[in-house]
Amino acid sequence: MNTPSHPRLSADDRTEVAVVGAGAAGLEAALVLGRQRRRVLLIDSGDYRNARSTGAHMLLGLDGTPPTEIRDRALADIAGLNTVIYLRSTVTAAHLDTEDGENRTEPAVSLTLSDGRRVTARRLIIATGQRDVTRDADGVPLINGLDRGHGIWTRHCPYCHGWENRDKDILVVPVPGAPVIRTVYQALYLRDRTSDRVRIIVDAAEVPDEFRGALSDAGVNLIDDTVSTMSGDPDAVSVRTTGGRTIRADTIFATPPTTAGSPLGEMLGVQMQGPCILTDARQRSSVPQVFAAGDGAVRRGEPEPMTFVTQAAAQGQLAAIWADQDLFLARPGIPAPSALTETPPTLPTSPRILHGSTE
Ligand SMILES: Cc1cc2nc3c(=O)[nH]c(=O)nc-3n(C[C@H](O)[C@H](O)[C@H](O)COP(=O)(O)OP(=O)(O)OC[C@H]3O[C@@H](n4cnc5c(N)ncnc54)[C@H](O)[C@@H]3O)c2cc1C
């Protein structure tokens, strides 16, 4: 595919919405906003989470398509709009700015790019995802080989990779820093849905009795040991344990802990839940100008985000619609939303007011 050409950023650009991150969430947000003729700045450092995967699954009409292809297609769609500027850069700092010389009634969001440039926008959508952690703070691999294998010959999610590994000989391995019980659940789930040949290699002392019983009842073989090194290719894997064993299988499920994809939420003082920005159902953060979508956003009341491509895109779409609505309703002369609905003003308005009510 030819590299699409996007409009370039110039000093006098007035960005209405900046979208940081061009994974599924940010690309969808930029597409929606660009189509509404919002002036959009899409900034991306190009390190998206499933870059190593050869095929993204559970995607309507695109099941198994390589993520790079999906991203290239989305960028080509966006390049067809003259409203979205796409910038390959990293946002290194962010703050709310009340004094940018534009006589604003509300603070703008000010972003600093890795080349030192500063841009401001009236609304910001943070779509910077999460990162899988395969090394500790000193750069030491959490398990030798995990960083080489992650996304290539180790799997992390039965929904993304279960079908492709059905009926295979599966090893499940806890990664230091991720809860062991979660790994045990994953083994039980894989045994239930994916294969009758599932083994878990884990220090048995870390597994409560009831879970050991459940593993045994389900026919999951618990190997009481700890993996020190793993190696493999997409068709065969092998692990070495601290107990001196070498164990081979068809594939490994090892889910690393995750961290925030960027520090932008914290820089802007939004409410966080673990590595994620806390949002409402419209993807709004606790700071009115800031929306968040994708793996790096979690809905209030949910213990953790649903980290899938379609979910990220859906959230990007919602964030874009509500950021757009927010700007529309902030226009002078537009009546307050409560005047447009027959519902009591305390209830939220819905985008259907723009489609014409069908009731
Ligand atoms: C190996 C693997 C396989 C997967 N397979 C599937 C699958 O089959 N099906 C499925 O539905 N899901 C799958 N997933 C999950 C899926 O990849 C994520 O849910 C999805 O990518 C989330 O999209 P996102 O837009 O939130 O984040 P990302 O895709 O991670 O995009 C975030 C973007 O933000 C950019 N960014 C971060 N910080 C900055 C900054 N400061 N400045 C500028 N840009 C920044 C990054 O470079 C990146 O491009 C898989 C995940 C992994 C790890």
179-203 tens-digit pLDDT: 999 999 999 999 999 999 999 999 9
SS (H, E, C) 23-91: CHHHHHHHHHHHHCCCCEEEEECCCCCCCCCCCECCCCCCCCECHHHHHHHHHHHHHCCCCEEEEECCE
Residues 177 and 240 occupy one common structural domain: yes
Identify the domain boundary among 253, 274, 302: 253
* Domain around 177: 136-253
The residue whose CA has the least distance to atom 17 of ligand 1 is 50
Q: How far is the CA of 342 from the centre of ligand 1 (A)?
A: 40
Number of domains in the chain: 2
Spatial separation of the C-alpha atoms in residues 275 and 267, rounded to whole Å: 13
Helices of type H across 80-162: 146-149, 158-161
In a domain, 3, yes or no: no
In a domain, 358, yes or no: no
pLDDT at 7: 77
Residues 126 and 266 occupy one common structural domain: yes
- pLDDT tens digits, 334-350: 887 765 555 444 444 44
Residues 179 and 166 occupy one common structural domain: yes
* Ligand 1 atom closest to Cα of residue 131: 30
* Per-chain mean pLDDT for the chain: 91
* Ligand 1 atom closest to Cα of residue 52: 1
Residues 102 and 175 occupy one common structural domain: no
- pLDDT tens digits, 202-251: 999 999 999 999 999 999 999 999 999 999 998 899 999 999 999 999 99
Spatial separation of the C-alpha atoms in residues 166 and 324, rounded to whole Å: 43
Q: How far is the CA of 21 from the centre of ligand 1 (A)?
A: 9
Residues 117 and 142 occupy one common structural domain: no
Mutate which of 92, 117, 128, 252 to test ligand 1's pocket (most atoms within 8 Å of Cβ)? 128
Which of 261, 260, 321, 328 is CA-nearest to residue 291? 321
Identify the domain boundary among 193, 222, 253: 253
Q: How far is the CA of 323 from the centre of ligand 1 (A)?
A: 21
Residues 31 and 108 occupy one common structural domain: yes
Residues 67 and 102 occupy one common structural domain: yes
Residues 112 and 158 occupy one common structural domain: no
- pLDDT tens digits, 31-79: 999 999 999 999 999 998 888 899 999 999 999 999 999 999 999 999 9
Q: How far is the CA of 59 from the centre of ligand 1 (A)?
A: 14
Residues 269 and 123 occupy one common structural domain: yes
Cβ–ligand 1 distance for 56 under 6 Å, the answer yes
Q: Average pLDDT of 275-280?
A: 96
Residues 293 and 195 occupy one common structural domain: no
- In the predicted structure, residue 353 carries a pLDDT above the cut 50: no
The residue whose CA has the least distance to atom 51 of ligand 1 is 50
Q: How far is the CA of 295 from the centre of ligand 1 (A)?
A: 7
